[in-house]
């Protein structure tokens, strides 16, 4: 945000794919980079990344991410460069740091959630959802209207 001059809501959006309901409230677990209507990243324009020098950690790890089966390759229509050995080592280090940061955040989120989360109340919000949600990010709970 500091590098782009954009505010929080212009950079991220609630992760509608990781939600749960608790009685009459809908909780969203975390934030993701904001997407355009066509589901592309708002920073991907004219065939390139417009924030490459200050891109977030998830982008610095490209093309790798930690999935259910360890390190996996993500497919992004952004940069498609082959990584040399030094670049691959830098990406691996960034991926480790990102995963540690993400795990710490998830631990704090689980502390925020307490015992309200179970498999029966997990959901994905439909793209046309409108209403009040609460975003948990491990630091605060933010009330938002979608």
- pTM, to two decimals: 0.67
**Could you read off the pLDDT of 10-45 as tens digits, one per residue?**
999 998 888 998 878 899 988 988 988 888 889 988
> If pLDDT is split at 50, 70 and 90, which confidence band does 82 have?
low
Our measurement of the distance from residue 95's CA atom to the centroid of its chain's CA atoms, rounded to an integer in Å, reads: 14
Give the other-Cβ count within 10 Å of 59's Cβ. Answer: 21
pLDDT at 132: 94
The contacts of residue 110 (CB under 8 Å, 6+ apart) are 117
């Amino acid at each position: 945000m500091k590098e782009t001059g954009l505010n929080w809501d212009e950079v991220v959006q609630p992760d509608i794919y990781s939600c749960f309901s608790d009685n009459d409230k809908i909780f969203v677990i975390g934030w993701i980079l904001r997407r355009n209507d066509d589901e592309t990243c708002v920073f991907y324009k004219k065939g390139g990344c417009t924030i490459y020098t200050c891109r977030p950690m998830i982008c610095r790890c490209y093309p790798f991410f930690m999935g259910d089966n360890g390190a996996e390759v993500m497919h992004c229509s952004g940069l498609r460069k082959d990584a040399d050995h030094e670049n691959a080592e830098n990406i691996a280090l960034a991926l480790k740091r990102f995963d540690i940061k993400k795990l710490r955040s998830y631990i704090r989120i689980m502390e925020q959630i307490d015992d309200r989360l179970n498999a029966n109340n997990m959901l994905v919000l439909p793209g046309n959802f409108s209403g009040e949600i609460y975003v948990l990010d491990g630091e605060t709970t933010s009330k938002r209207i979608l």
